[in-house]
Structure 1
Amino acid sequence: MKKIYFIIALFSSVLLHSQERYFINSDTRLYTAANTSNFLGYFKYGAEVRLLSENQKGWYKVQADNFNEGYIPSKFISESLNSDDIKTTDKENPIIFGGDNYHGSNHLFVLVAGLKARALPDKNSKIREVLFTGDAVTLNYFPKNEDEWVNIAGSFNEEYAKFTLRKFLGKRPDLNVLIKNFDKLDVNNITERKTISERIVELAWNSDSTTLIPAYERYYEVVKQLNDPKLLAETELNIALVKALAKSKKPEEIFAFSKKAEFLLKGIKTKSLYLSQTNLVKTLGKPTKKAKVDDGCGIYLSDLFYYYPDLEVSVDEAKNQAQIVKVFINENNKFIINPSVVLDNTLSEKAFIEKYGTYIQASLKSPHYYSIFIMDDSQFILQFKDGKLFCVEIFIDC
C-alpha cells in the first residue's frame, strides 16, 4: 500500500511541475543525462521549459518547447525572470540574444524561400504561416541535430505554437552573397537559378527597398525561361510595383493625397468616412445583419456593426452616427480618394499601380493588398481580386 501511495505522490508531483511555468535564467544546454557533456541542443536566457522530475542531485529532467527531453543543472531553472539575473553566455550558442535591427527577442533567420511553419512538429500537420527568406523568428531552444524541429513561437502555448525544421534557420543570409552565387550559375541550370532567385526576391523584401529592382531583374530572367504565363504576368505586375515603391512619396504628400477621401454609395457621396445613421438607412435601407463586435481597442464608434451585402459600418444609434469600416466596390460603390482620383470596379490592378503606386505600401506576404495612409495610425487597405478593385477597408491601429 505504501508503494501505491508513493507512486501516486510522485505522479502528482511530476504533473504539477509539467503544468507550472519554469524558465531558463542563463544560457545553458539540454544534456542527454545528468553529469555529462553530451547534449541535444542550446537554451537561451528566457526559454520556457517543463519540469519532468524533482531536483535530482542538482539536475532536473525537463522538456524543451519542441518536446525534446533531457537534463539541465538546477541552478539554471527559475520560476520567474529578474533584471538582476546573472546571464552566462555560451559562445557556441547560435541563437541571437535579445533585440537587434530585425527582431526584439531571441531569434534566428529563415534561410530558404516559402518556408512552412506548422502547428505540430510533423510535416503533415496544419500550416500556420509561410515564412520568407530573411524573416526573423523567435526561438529560445535550438537543437543540435539539423533534422530536428524548432518551435518558433517561443512558448508551449498550443494555440500559437509554430514548428519548422532546424536546418532552415540560421544567421541572416547575405543578399550580396546570394546575388553573386546566382550570377555564377550556368544559365541553363534553371532549377538552381529559380531556387536562389526566389530567395533573393524574398530577402530583398526584407531589406532596403532599393534592392528590390535588381532582385526582380534576376528573378525575371528565370521566369522567362520557365515560360509560365501566369507566373510571367504576376512577376511583371510585381516589377511595376517595386519600381513604383522605389519612388515612394513622402508621408506628408501621401496624407495630403488621401485626407479628403470619401465614398460614393449608390450615387450618394458620404463626404467623409462618417455619415449619420439616418442617412445610412435612408440610402441603403435596413441592414441585413446587426452584430456586436469587440475590437479590444475602442477604435470604432461603438461595438454595434451594421452589415449590408456591400458595406460594413460601426454605428452609434444613440448619437445617430455611422463610421464606414469596409466597402465592396461594385457598380453601385466607388472610392473617391480626392476629386481627381475616383476608383471603381473597372480599375485594373496594373493601372492602379502604374498611376498611384508611389502613394502605397505593399508586402510580398499580402499580394494584391495595398495600403494608403490617411495619417500615422490609420490607412485604407485596397484589395484587388481577379485583377480588379474588390474592396476598400479602413484600418486603424490600436
Structure 2
Amino acid sequence: MKKYYFLLALLFCSVLLHCQERYFLNSDTRLYTSASASAEFSGYFKYGAEVQLLSESKNGWYKVKADNLSEGYIPEKFVATRLNSADIKVRDNENPIIEGSDNYYGSNHLFVLVAGLKARAQPDKNSKIKEILNVGDPVAVNYLPKSQEEWVNISGNFSDEYAKFTLRKFIGKRPDFNTLLKDFDKLDVNNITERKTVGERLVELAWNSETTTLAPAYQRYYEVVKQLNDPKLLADTELNMAVAKGLAKHKKPEEILAFVKKSEFVLKGLKTKAWYLTQKDLVKTFGKPVKKATVSDECGVYLSETFYYYQDLEASVNEQKNQAEITKVFINKNNKLVLNPNATLDNSLTEKAFIEKYGSYIGASIKAPHSYSIQIEDSEFKIEFKDGKLFTIEIFFYC
C-alpha cells in the first residue's frame, strides 16, 4: 500500500510540475493525431507557440494541448522551457501562419477576412463576445488547424483572461484592397446582398490601409446604401464619408499644434490657462465636488492622484499646492473649449459641422464611431458626440 501511495504522489508531483512550467516550441511543427511523423496531422504550430504537456515523453513524443484546446502529439525535440536566439528553426513551408514582423504585426499572425468579426471568449459560437474585429486587422496566431470549421485562438495566450477565438475560415492572408475593389465592380448591380458584404469589407480594409483608399471604398459602399434605403445607415455613411474626406487632407503635426496651442476651457465664464486653474477657483466656481477619489497614476501623467468629480467636469487636484488640472469636461451651455480665437467647440456644435470645419485636424477610427481626437503635444483632446451634439471633451495624456 505504501508503494502505491508513493507512486501516486510521484505522479501528482510530475503533473503539478507540468502545470507550473510553461513550454514553448523552438521550431515549426505540426499537431499529429498519433505519436508518429507519418500520422495524419490536425494543424500547424509556428515557432514560439506555447503548448501544455499532457503526458511524459514517450519514444520521443509528447501528448500536448494547443491554445485552441485541441489535443495531439508533437516531437519532444521541439519542446523547450524558453526560447533564445541560438534556436535552430526548422521551417514548415506549408505552414500558412505569417512569421515575425511585417508592416502590420510583430509576431506570428494572420489577418481578419470578414467584416464585423466576433472574437469569442471560448471556442463556442454561443460564448461571450470579447471584441469586434475588422477586415485587415492582424491577429496573433501560433496554432492553426487544417479544418476551416475549427476554432483558432487569436490571442496567442492560454489565459482565459486574454484568450479569444474565431473560426479558421475567417482569417488568412491579408486581403488586397485593389483586388477587393475589382471583385465589387464585377458584381451584378442588383445583387444587393453580396454587394453589401463586399462593400463592408472594402470600407473596413480601407480604414486599415492608407487614407487614400477611403474615398473609393465609400464610393462603392454608398451605392449599396442608397439601394438599401435605410435612413440611419445612409446618414452614418454620409458622416463617415465626410470624415474620410477630411482625413485625405490631413494637416501636418506642426500645423495641428499651431492650430490648438492656445487652447483653453471656459467653464461657467471662468477662463482656464490651457486646462489648468487653481484649486480655489475650481471650488469657488463649482462648489464642493460631488465625489473625491484617489486614482492610481502609474505613468505619472496627472497633476495629482486626487480627483474631484462634478456633474460638469472631472479634475486632478493638488490640494497642497492649490493646483487643478481639468481632465474631462461635459459640454453644455456653461462649458466650452476655445481652440483658438476662430474655433470654439460648444454645445451648439453638431457632429456634421465639426467634421466639415475641422476634419483635416482630427484623428478618427471606424472602431470608435462619433469619437475623434486632436493632438496637443504629449496629449490629445478626445472629443465625443452623442445624438449628433458635442457631449464630452477629455484630455488624454500619453504614458
TM-score bracket, normalised by the shorter chain, equals: over 0.9
Residue by residue over 1:336-379, the C-alpha shift from the partner in whole angstroms, topping out at 9 and shown as x without a partner, is: 1112111111210000000111110100011001100011x311
Equivalent of residue 124 in structure 1, options 123, 126, 132: 126
Tell me which moved more, 340-349 or 225-234. Answer: 340-349
1:76-225 map, 5 Å: 76-225=78-227
Q: Does 1:23 align with 2:39?
A: no
* Counterpart residue type for residue 96 of structure 1: I
Counterpart in the other structure of 2:293: 291
Q: CA RMSD in A?
A: 1.1
Residue by residue over 1:187-241, the C-alpha shift from the partner in whole angstroms, topping out at 9 and shown as x without a partner, is: 0000000000000000011111001001000000000000000000000101111
Counterpart in the other structure of 2:393: 392
Alignment partners' CA distance in 2, 1:49 and 1:197: 39
Counterpart in the other structure of 1:239: 241
Alignment partners' CA distance in 2, 1:83 and 1:286: 59
* Counterpart residue type for residue 76 of structure 1: F
Deviation >3 Å, runs of 4+: 2-5
Q: 3-state DSSP class of the match of 2:72?
A: strand
Equivalent of residue 69 in structure 2, options 63, 67, 70: 67
* Counterpart residue type for residue 17 of structure 2: L
* Counterpart residue type for residue 305 of structure 1: F
Q: 3-state DSSP class of the match of 1:391?
A: strand
Equivalent of residue 259 in structure 1, options 255, 258, 261: 261
Counterpart in the other structure of 2:381: 380
* Counterpart residue type for residue 391 of structure 1: T
- TM-score under structure 1 length normalisation: 0.98
Alignment partners' CA distance in 1, 2:100 and 2:114: 23
Alignment partners' CA distance in 2, 1:211 and 1:73: 46
Alignment partners' CA distance in 2, 1:254 and 1:393: 17
Alignment partners' CA distance in 2, 1:142 and 1:8: 36
Cα distance change, pair 42–104 in 1 and its aligned pair in 2 (3 A): same
CA positional deviation for 1:16: 2.9
Q: 3-state DSSP class of the match of 1:211?
A: helix
Alignment partners' CA distance in 2, 1:162 and 1:381: 28
Residue by residue over 1:104-134, the C-alpha shift from the partner in whole angstroms, topping out at 9 and shown as x without a partner, is: 1110000110000011111111111100001
Q: 3-state DSSP class of the match of 2:357?
A: helix
Q: Does 1:310 align with 2:323?
A: no
Contact 1:110 1:137 (8 Å CA) reproduced: yes
Tell me which moved more, 34-43 or 208-217. Answer: 34-43
Residue by residue over 1:231-271, the C-alpha shift from the partner in whole angstroms, topping out at 9 and shown as x without a partner, is: 00000101111011111111111001111111111111112
Alignment partners' CA distance in 1, 2:147 and 2:372: 41
- TM-score under structure 2 length normalisation: 0.97
Alignment partners' CA distance in 2, 1:8 and 1:144: 39
Q: 3-state DSSP class of the match of 2:376?
A: strand
Unaligned runs of at least 5 residues, structure 2: none
Alignment partners' CA distance in 1, 2:32 and 2:146: 11
Contact 1:209 1:246 (8 Å CA) reproduced: yes
Contact 1:18 1:52 (8 Å CA) reproduced: no
Counterpart in the other structure of 2:34: 33
Q: 3-state DSSP class of the match of 1:358?
A: coil
Contact 1:112 1:199 (8 Å CA) reproduced: yes
Q: 3-state DSSP class of the match of 2:364?
A: coil
Alignment partners' CA distance in 1, 2:302 and 2:290: 20
Q: 3-state DSSP class of the match of 2:363?
A: coil
Alignment partners' CA distance in 1, 2:303 and 2:143: 44
Alignment partners' CA distance in 2, 1:5 and 1:112: 55
* Counterpart residue type for residue 390 of structure 1: F
Alignment partners' CA distance in 2, 1:118 and 1:260: 45
Counterpart in the other structure of 1:282: 284
Alignment partners' CA distance in 2, 1:128 and 1:25: 30
* Counterpart residue type for residue 31 of structure 1: Y
Alignment partners' CA distance in 1, 2:270 and 2:398: 28
Q: 3-state DSSP class of the match of 1:71?
A: strand
CA positional deviation for 1:4: 5.1
CA positional deviation for 1:29: 0.8
Q: 3-state DSSP class of the match of 2:297?
A: coil
Q: 3-state DSSP class of the match of 1:146?
A: coil
Percent identity between matched residues is: 71
CA positional deviation for 1:331: 1.5
Residue by residue over 1:300-323, the C-alpha shift from the partner in whole angstroms, topping out at 9 and shown as x without a partner, is: 011111111121111111211111
User: Aligned residue pairs: how many?
Assistant: 397
Q: 3-state DSSP class of the match of 1:89?
A: coil
Q: 3-state DSSP class of the match of 1:359?
A: coil
Residue by residue over 1:153-203, the C-alpha shift from the partner in whole angstroms, topping out at 9 and shown as x without a partner, is: 111111111111111010000111111111111100000000000000000
Alignment partners' CA distance in 1, 2:37 and 2:80: 22
Unaligned runs of at least 5 residues, structure 1: none
Q: 3-state DSSP class of the match of 1:207?
A: coil
Contact 1:348 1:388 (8 Å CA) reproduced: yes
Alignment partners' CA distance in 1, 2:276 and 2:33: 63
Q: 3-state DSSP class of the match of 2:360?
A: helix
Contact 1:19 1:50 (8 Å CA) reproduced: no
Alignment partners' CA distance in 2, 1:320 and 1:130: 44
